[in-house]
């Protein structure tokens, strides 16, 4: 069965500390006291997560803002969000 991840909701982990400064996101995860620096696209995705967009909406925004093919963007956004989830920075919850 296909997992329709695009409609899943992404929640920022309330325990992390984050700031966007000069268009770069800085994220600190308290459990391992690690600083994560996001690149330009990562920072844009982070902003969209903070705006409570689901994955489908995030992909739409990135497609509209960056000159890349949609398939690459879809793959990269999904992979990026899965990395954030593995690091405990976000939680992904299935839409009801």
Partner 1 sequence: MERNFSIKIADLKINLNDIFSDKLRRWYCFFLSRSHFPEISLNLDYIPAKRNLPLRVKKKEGQVFQIERSDFFAEIDFASFQGELKVAKNIYSFDSFLRILYSLYLLYNDGFLLHSAGIKKDGKVYLFSGSSLSGKTTVIRHLGPTLTNENAILSDEIIAIRKEKHNGGNYFFFAYPTPFWGEFKSSENINNQRAKIDRIFFLGNRNFAKLSFNEAVERLLENTIFFSRDPSSVAKLFNLGIEFLQQIPSYQLKATEGVQSYLNFPK
**Interacting residue ranges for partner 1, rule: CB under 8 A:** 14-17, 19, 21-22, 24, 26, 28, 30-31, 33, 35, 37
Q: Considering the complex, what minimum distance in angstroms separates the CB of residue 21 from partner 1?
A: 6
Token digits of residue 5: 């991840």
Closer CB to partner 1, residue 37 or residue 83? 37
Nearer to partner 1, 5 or 16 (CB): 16
Minimum Å gap between C-beta 65 and partner 1 is: 22
Distance from C-alpha of 56 to C-alpha of 61, rounded to nearest angstrom: 9
CA-closest candidate to residue 13, choices 56, 36, 24, 3 = 36
Please count the CA atoms within 13 angstroms of the CA of 79 that sit on its side-chain side: 7
Question: Minimal CA–CA distance to 9: which of 42, 46, 55, 63?
Answer: 55
* Residue with Cβ nearer partner 1 (21 or 96): 21
Of 21 and 71, CB closest to partner 1: 21
């Amino acid at each position: 069965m296909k997992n329709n991840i695009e409609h899943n909701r992404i929640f920022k982990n309330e325990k992390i500390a984050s700031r966007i400064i000069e268009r770069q996101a800085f994220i600190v995860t308290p459990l391992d006291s690690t600083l994560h620096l996001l690149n330009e696209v990562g920072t844009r995705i982070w902003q969209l997560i903070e705006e409570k967009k689901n994955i489908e909406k995030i992909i739409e925004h990135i497609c509209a803002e960056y000159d890349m093919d949609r398939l690459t963007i879809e793959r990269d956004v999904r992979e990026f969000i899965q990395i954030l989830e593995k690091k405990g920075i976000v939680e992904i919850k299935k839409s009801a």
